Structure formats: C-alpha cells, structure tokens
Structure 1
Amino acid sequence: MDAVRGKFVTAQMRETFWQLVRFGVAGGLATVCYAIVYSPLAAFQITSEQVANVAGYLVAMLSGYVLHSKWSFRGHAASAKASMFKFFAVSLVSYGVNTFWVWLLTDDAMYAGSWWWPLIPIVFVTPLVTFALNRLWVFR
C-alpha cells in the first residue's frame, strides 16, 4: 500500500511541478506583455504609473487567460465558463497586488522610486499568489 501511495504522491508532485513550470513560462509571457505596455507609458511619462498599470493589466489578463487555460492548466476539468469567471476574479486580485506595488514603490508619499521598481515584485511575488489561486480554485 505504501508503494502505491508513494507512486501516486510522486506522480501528483511531478504533475504539479510541470504545471508550475508551464505556469511560469505562460505567466512570464503575460508579464512580458504587461512590461511592454507599462514600461514606455510610465518611463516616458505618457501617463501616470497607475494608468500604465491598468493598461498593462488588461493586456496581461487577456493573454494570460488564453495561455493558462490552453496550456498551463490543460487537462483540468474546469468548464470554460466557470474558469473564465474565476480567472477574472483572480486577475483582479493580481491587479490589486500589482497596484499596491506601484503605489508603494512609486508614489511620492511613499518610496517615490523610479517607474521600474514595481516590476521586481510584480515579476517575483505576484505570480506565486496567482499560481496558488489558479491551481487551487480556477483550474482544479
């Protein structure tokens, strides 16, 4: 019995690992889309950092849904309609977290840092939150 359970846990852990790798690649591409939109808008002061954040978020959300639903979490039983609503809810959490980073790191009342400072936690922290929510709730 322990041998069977050990193989199941190992297979489950292996699937989760590769799912995390696919999520990282797809999320990385969505984050690159975000950065491509956010960076010139904020760097050249075409608009405020927060408006640039909204524009980047919209592009990343749309590209992220396609990539994650078709590739990262492929083979999961979630229906397209149910997963779309849940994915949008998680993307709002992601937007809120990213908005917090932009506010904290660029606002004059806070750290008043450069436009690129929020990209660091946006790339390294926010994806961990969204992976957990997508794995446990959206595409289960």
Structure 2
Amino acid sequence: MLAQVVRYTITGGLVTALGAAIYWVLAAFAGIAPLAANLAAYLVMVATGYVMHSRWSFRGHGDRRDPLTTLRFFLVSLVSLALNSLFVWLLTGLLAGPKWWPVLTMLFVTPVIVFALNRQWVFSGGPDSPNDGFRPRPD
C-alpha cells in the first residue's frame, strides 16, 4: 500500500496542482467567477485524473475496464467537485476572502478524502480479489 500512496501522492499532486492553477488563473486573472473557475478546473482534473490514476496510481488494484469502476470514479469525482465548490463558496463568498484561500483546501483537504474513496470503493478489488467493491479491503 505504501507504493500506492506514493504513486497517488505524485499523480494526485500533479492533477491537483493543475486544477488549482487553472482555478487561480481563471478566478484571479481572467475575471471568471470563482465557482465557474472551479467547475472549469474540475473538468480538466477529472479527465486527467481518471487516466493517470487508473493507469498508474491504482494499477493492479481493481479493473479500470469495468464500467462500474468508471462510474464509481466519476461519482467520487463529483464528491471532489462538491467539496471544492463548498470551499470556494464558503471562503470567497460567505467569508469574502481572497480568491487564493480555497487553493489551500483544494491541495490539502479534498485529496485525502478522494484517496480514501478511490482506494476503498472505486479501485477496491485486485485481479484476484473476491471483493465486490462495496466492502473495504483488509489491507
């Protein structure tokens, strides 16, 4: 599992940094509303993240060709969108903070939650695992 955490950290870090950069440039410099900038960043992140995580981070841990795995990945990605949208709304809207505040939660809160969901639900079964994807694996 340690190797998987390292791969996820590298891949997730790159995807998250890309998304945070897209959000920041659109919200701070292009004049796009923060929530719209967050949605644009999400669209790039979900496509990039699926390819990178399914091929490398969770390689050998579940079947990425399984339509149920793909569906689960996109459902978890919606959780990340909801979390980041909540943080953007709360920090830039309700608290009227600067547009960079949500970047901190995008980098340090959402990835931890998404990793747990991806590991335990999306890519839960290995090639020899009897796990149906609904119960956590023992490792």
RMSD value over aligned CA atoms? Answer: 1.1
Aligned match for 1:52, one of 9, 17, 37: 37
Deviations for 1:84-132, whole angstroms, at most 9, x for unmatched residues?
111000000000000011011000xx21111110000110010010000
Question: Do residues 103 (structure 1) and 94 (structure 2) align?
Answer: no
Amino acid at match of 1:83: T
Q: CA deviation at 1:45?
A: 4.7
Cα contact 2:20–2:106 (8 A) shared by 1: no
Equivalence for 2:51: 66
**Identity among equivalent pairs (%):** 49
How many Å separate the matches in 1 of 2:20 and 2:115? Answer: 19
**How many equivalent pairs are there?**
123
Equivalence for 1:28: 13
Compare the two structures and name the one with the higher helix fraction. Answer: 1
How many Å separate the matches in 2 of 1:79 and 1:72? Answer: 12
Question: Do residues 78 (structure 1) and 59 (structure 2) align?
Answer: no
How many Å separate the matches in 1 of 2:58 and 2:78? Answer: 19
Contiguous gaps of at least 5 residues in structure 2: 125-139
Q: Secondary structure at the match of 1:118?
A: helix
How many Å separate the matches in 1 of 2:82 and 2:17? Answer: 18
Amino acid at match of 1:124: F
Amino acid at match of 2:123: F
Q: Secondary structure at the match of 1:47?
A: coil
Bigger radius of gyration among the two: 1
Q: CA deviation at 1:78?
A: 2.3
Contiguous gaps of at least 5 residues in structure 1: 1-15
Deviations for 1:55-108, whole angstroms, at most 9, x for unmatched residues?
00000111100110000000123242221111000000000000011011000x
Question: Do residues 126 (structure 1) and 118 (structure 2) align?
Answer: no
How many Å separate the matches in 2 of 1:79 and 1:40? Answer: 32
TM-score scaled to structure 2, two decimals? 0.84
Question: Do residues 113 (structure 1) and 97 (structure 2) align?
Answer: yes
